[in-house]
């Protein structure tokens, strides 16, 4: 696919979905305190600095990643507060620049085809920023995203699918509508059940250094 396939309509729909997500973050900030409130405030302030009038369509071309096979069936949100976001992003899934940056692992064959993320704002994204990343993560059913860490502060906002999230050895089940904060360099794991996971994510801080696995492959 080339950037010629990226139409103004697609860009406008991406912008509308991002704007809707920003409104959700603003509401979440009002209902949270402490670290979550501070990080949401930082994210919103950095998003205000993004020049959405400029875009690079070459970073919005569809990648044809295998994870999209999990995104065309039934995607129940089970939470009315995020149903509008899922509805806004779902038609865009085939057009998003899904990618995966880890090296293959012998103990997780096929992982590179079962999970991916599509960055919409960031250093290498259709809307450029050196300070904040924003996008969508998708993980297929019955997939374990192994122990990993990154310098960036990370948030997730679950749009569809219930999964187990482990950070510093503590596991919680996170359903649609859940908001998760990962401080810088915290080791965390995500594991899906019978449903694919779809979540919006943000990065702040060091957004250039890629995530890396912390556990050794078998």
Domain ranges of the chain: 3-213
The two beta strands, 115-122 and 179-182, are unpaired
CA-based nearest residue to 42, from 142, 153, 185: 153
Give 5's pLDDT tier (boundaries 50, 70, 90): low
Contact between residue 174 and residue 200 where contact means Cβ atoms under 8 Å apart:
no
Helix (H) or strand (E) holding 28: helix 8-31
| Residue 90: per-residue pLDDT | 95
CB neighbour list of residue 108: distance below 8 Å, 6 or more residues apart: 144, 146, 217
3-state secondary structure at position 138: strand
Least confident of 58-62, 85-89, 119-123, 134-138: 58-62
* Nearest-angstrom CA–CA distance, 197 and 41: 25
Q: Over range 107-128, report the average pLDDT.
A: 96
* Nearest-angstrom CA–CA distance, 18 and 11: 11
| Residue 187: per-residue pLDDT | 96
pTM of the full structure: 0.94
Give 194's pLDDT tier (boundaries 50, 70, 90): very high
How is residue 104 written in tokens? Answer: 């293959």
| Residue 51: per-residue pLDDT | 98
Phi, psi of 161 (to 5 degrees): 90, 140
Superfamily for domain range 3-213? Jelly Rolls (2.60.120.10)
Question: For residue 127, is pLDDT > 80?
Answer: yes
Instruction: Give tens-digit pLDDT for 140-182.
Output: 999 999 999 999 999 999 999 999 999 988 999 999 999 999 9
């Amino acid at each position: 696919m080339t950037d010629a396939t990226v139409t103004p309509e697609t860009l406008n729909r991406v912008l509308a979905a991002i704007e809707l997500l920003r409104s959700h973050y603003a509401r979440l900030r009002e209902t949270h305190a402490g670290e979550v409130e501070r990080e949401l405030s930082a994210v919103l302030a950095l998003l205000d600095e993004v020049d959405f009038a400029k875009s690079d369509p070459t970073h919005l071309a569809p990648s044809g990643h295998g994870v999209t096979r999990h995104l065309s069936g039934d995607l129940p949100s089970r939470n009315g507060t995020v149903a509008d976001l899922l509805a806004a992003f779902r038609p865009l899934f085939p057009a998003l620049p899904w990618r995966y940056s880890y090296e293959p692992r012998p103990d997780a064959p096929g992982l590179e085809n079962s999970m991916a993320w599509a960055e919409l704002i960031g250093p290498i994204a259709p809307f450029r920023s050196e300070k904040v990343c924003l996008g969508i993560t998708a993980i297929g059913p019955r997939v374990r995203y192994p122990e990993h860490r990154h310098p960036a502060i990370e948030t997730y906002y679950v749009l569809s699918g219930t999964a187990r999230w482990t950070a510093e050895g503590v596991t919680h089940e996170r359903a649609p509508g859940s908001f998760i904060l990962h401080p810088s360099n915290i080791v965390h794991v995500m594991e899906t059940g019978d449903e694919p996971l779809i979540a919006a994510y943000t990065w702040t801080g060091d957004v250039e250094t890629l995530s890396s696995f912390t556990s050794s492959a078998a």
